[in-house]
Structure 1
């Protein structure tokens, strides 16, 4: 099976960047890492701009990612994440040249 790899780029409202990191760590990272098929789930901050961030995700299968996106908690916390964004998310789905 082919793994699903995502890079999710986002710009957080500068005055909310620390609050965003705390919320993301407590809600998204803590929950996502316990889900079936989650191989990697990390938040990276741009070293030149603390409000520019990238979520790095690796899921064992598309089904695992679909299950992740349909979790009840995601429906609650997704809008909170969206409210902290300065611009819309840019989601890049990647495949390894080794797949």
Structure 2
């Protein structure tokens, strides 16, 4: 399983358009093969920080998501609404050995 946390600093004047535009992206992404969850959130501390939390069955599914037509549309729509580039962290499940106290 693959997790993704993508954080974007939105321009204050573009905040509403960014969030509205991402709702369409969310709806399309949730239909994709391998998408287990895909949600957008705003920071409690900074209303202009938008965080997408994703969960995918495999890296291949995530790679296909990046090439999806609606993602191209989203990238074009969101680019002028960002204050800085999106920071994307891809995380896999950690294999933790049993720890004894």
Q: Same fold by TM-score, threshold 0.5 exceeded? A: yes
The aligned runs of 1:28-67 (5 Å cut-off) are 28-67=25-64
Q: TM-score, normalised by structure 1?
A: 0.89
**1:94 shift after superposition:** 1.2
Query: Aligned equivalents of 1:39 and 1:98: distance in 2?
Result: 20
Larger gyration radius, structure 1 or structure 2: 2
Q: TM-score, normalised by structure 2?
A: 0.87
**1:88 shift after superposition:** 0.7
Structure 1: which 5+ residue stretches go unaligned? Answer: none
Query: Aligned equivalents of 2:17 and 2:75: distance in 1?
Result: 15
Query: Aligned equivalents of 1:81 and 1:68: distance in 2?
Result: 17
**1:7 shift after superposition:** 0.4
SS in 1 for 2:45: coil
**Of 80, 89, 93, which aligns to 2:90?**
93
**Of 44, 56, 77, which aligns to 1:80?**
77
